[in-house]
A and B are shown apart, each in its own frame.
Chain A
Amino acid sequence: MAEAFKKLPEKLQLATSAHVKYIQSLDTRKDEYDYWLTEHLRLNGLYWGLTALHLLGHPDALPRAETIDFVLSCQHENGGFGAAPGHDAHMLSTVSAVQILATIDAFDDLEKRGRGKAQVGKYIANLQNRQTGTFAGDEWGEEDTRFLYGAFNALSLLGLLYLVDVDKAVDHIVACANFDGGYGVSPGAESHAGQIFTCVAALTIAGRRGLVDADRLGRWLSERQIAGGGLNGRPEKKEDVCYSWWVLSSLEMIGKTHWIDRDQLIGFILRCQDTERGGISDRPGDMVDVWHTLFGITGLSLLEYPGLQPVDEVYCMPKSTIERVLGR
Chain B
Amino acid sequence: MPPKGKAAQKPKGSEASASSASAPTQQQQQQQQQQQQQKQTSSSSTSSPATTTVLERSHQRYDESRGPYEAAAAAVRSQKAGGGLGLSALSREEQIGWISSLLARSASARARANLGSKAQRELWRHVNEASLPVRCIKKTTSPEQQWGTDHAGQDVGRYSVGRFADRSEKRITLTTLEVASRRFLEARDQADKKLRDPLTGEEAVLTDREFQEEKDRRREMASLRKELYGGVSEGQLQFALDPEWDDVEPILQDEPENALAAISYPAEYDEAISYLRAVMLKKEYSPRCLRLTERIIEMNPAHYTVWLYRASNVFALGLSILDEIEWLNGVALKNLKNYQIWHHRHLLVDNYYPTIASSPVLVVKFTDSEREFLTEILAEDTKNYHVWSYRSYLVDKLGSWDSPDELASIERMINDDVRNNSAWSHRFFLVFSNPAHSSCAEKKLGATDFDPKVPATIVDREVQYAMDKVYEAPQNQSPWNYLRGVLAKGGRKLGSIEKFVGEFVSALGEEEKEDVKSTHALDLLAEIWAEKGEREKADLGLRRLAEKWDRIRVGYWEWRRSCLNEGVAAVVAAS
A residues sitting closer than 8 Å to B (CB atoms) are 28, 30-31, 33, 36-38, 40, 85-88, 90, 140, 142, 174-175, 177-181, 184-192, 213, 215-216, 218-220, 222-223, 225, 227, 229, 234-237, 256, 258-261, 264, 277
Contact = CB atoms under 8 A, between A and B. Distances in A.
Contacts of B265: 33
A215 B447 contact: no
B422 A30 contact: no
Contact of B553 (A86, A177, A178, A225): A225
Main secondary structure of the interface of B (DSSP, over half): helix
B477 A236 contact: yes
B114 to A, nearest CB: 64
B489 to A, nearest CB: 7
A186 B426 CA distance: 12
Contacts of B556: 218-219, 222, 256, 259
B481 A235 contact: yes
B383 A237 contact: yes
A33 B425 contact: no
B298 to A, nearest CB: 12
Interface stretch (B41-49, B254-262, B359-367): B254-262
Contacts of A260: 552-553, 555
B425 A190 contact: yes
A233 to B, nearest CB: 9
A36 B489 contact: no
Nearest to B269: A36
B420 interface: yes
A236 B420 contact: yes
B229 interface: no
Q: B266, B393, B482 — which one has the most chain A CB atoms within 10 A of its CB?
A: B266
Contacts of B217: none
Contact of A189 (B269, B389, B551): B389
B478 interface: yes
Interface string B391-422: 01100100000000000000000000001111
A225 B448 CA distance: 24
Interface stretch (B96-104, B143-151, B303-311): B303-311
A184 B553 contact: no
A257 to B, nearest CB: 8
B425 A191 contact: yes
Contacts of B552: 225, 227, 229, 260-261, 264
Nearest to B252: A86
Nearest to A141: B347
Contacts of B260: 30-31
B293 to A, nearest CB: 14
Contacts of A213: 448
Interface stretch (B77-85, B120-128, B428-436, B532-540): B428-436
B315 to A, nearest CB: 12
Interface residues of B, number: 63
A31 B254 CA distance: 15
26 contacts: A30-B259, A31-B259, A33-B263, A36-B266, A37-B300, A37-B303, A85-B254, A86-B253, A174-B446, A177-B447, A178-B485, A179-B432, A179-B485, A179-B488, A184-B389, A188-B433, A189-B388, A190-B426, A216-B448, A225-B553, A234-B421, A236-B478, A256-B556, A258-B559, A259-B553, A261-B551
B485 to A, nearest CB: 3
Nearest to A194: B385
B559 A259 contact: yes
Main secondary structure of the interface of A (DSSP, over half): loop
Contacts of B443: 175
Contacts of B343: 142
Contacts of B263: 31, 33
A258 B555 contact: yes
Contact of B478 (A188, A215, A235, A277): A235
B107 interface: no
A85 B478 CA distance: 45
Contacts of A142: 343, 346
A88 B305 contact: yes
Contacts of B277: 86
B485 A180 contact: yes
B208 to A, nearest CB: 13
A36 B305 contact: no
B571 interface: yes
A234 B571 contact: no
Q: A216, A236, A260 — which one has the most chain B CB atoms within 10 A of its CB?
A: A236
A223 B553 CA distance: 8
A133 B366 CA distance: 31
Contact of A179 (B254, B303, B428, B476): B428
B422 A37 contact: no
A94 to B, nearest CB: 14
B553 A186 contact: no
B305 A87 contact: yes
Contacts of B446: 174, 177
B302 interface: yes
A234 B555 contact: no
Nearest to B473: A236
Would you list the 8 A-B pairs with minimal beta carbon distance, nearest first? A179-B485, A190-B425, A31-B260, A258-B555, A188-B429, A259-B556, A236-B419, A30-B259
Contacts of B448: 179, 181, 213, 216
Contacts of B489: 179
Contact of A215 (B433, B553, B571): B571
Interface string B477-511: 11001101100110000000000000000000000
A234 B388 CA distance: 13
A236 B553 contact: no
B549 to A, nearest CB: 13
Interface string B18-30: 0000000000000
Nearest to A84: B253
B303 A40 contact: yes
A217 to B, nearest CB: 11
B28 to A, nearest CB: 56
Given A36-B266, A179-B481, A186 B389 contact: yes
B432 A235 contact: no
B284 interface: no
B152 to A, nearest CB: 27
Nearest to B218: A31
A189 B572 CA distance: 22
Contact of B555 (A178, A220, A261): A261
Contacts of B433: 187-188
A235 B421 contact: yes
A261 B420 contact: no
B155 interface: no
Contacts of A88: 305
A87 B481 CA distance: 44
B451 to A, nearest CB: 11
Contacts of A30: 256, 258-260
Given A36-B270, A180-B481, A225-B552, A192 B385 contact: yes
B269 A140 contact: no
A246 B420 CA distance: 21
B554 interface: yes
A261 B553 contact: yes
A111 to B, nearest CB: 26
A177 B445 CA distance: 11
Given A31-B259, A186-B389, A236-B476, A179 B484 contact: yes
B156 to A, nearest CB: 29
Contacts of B421: 190, 234-237
A189 B392 CA distance: 7
Given A142-B343, A236-B477, A236-B478, A28 B258 contact: yes
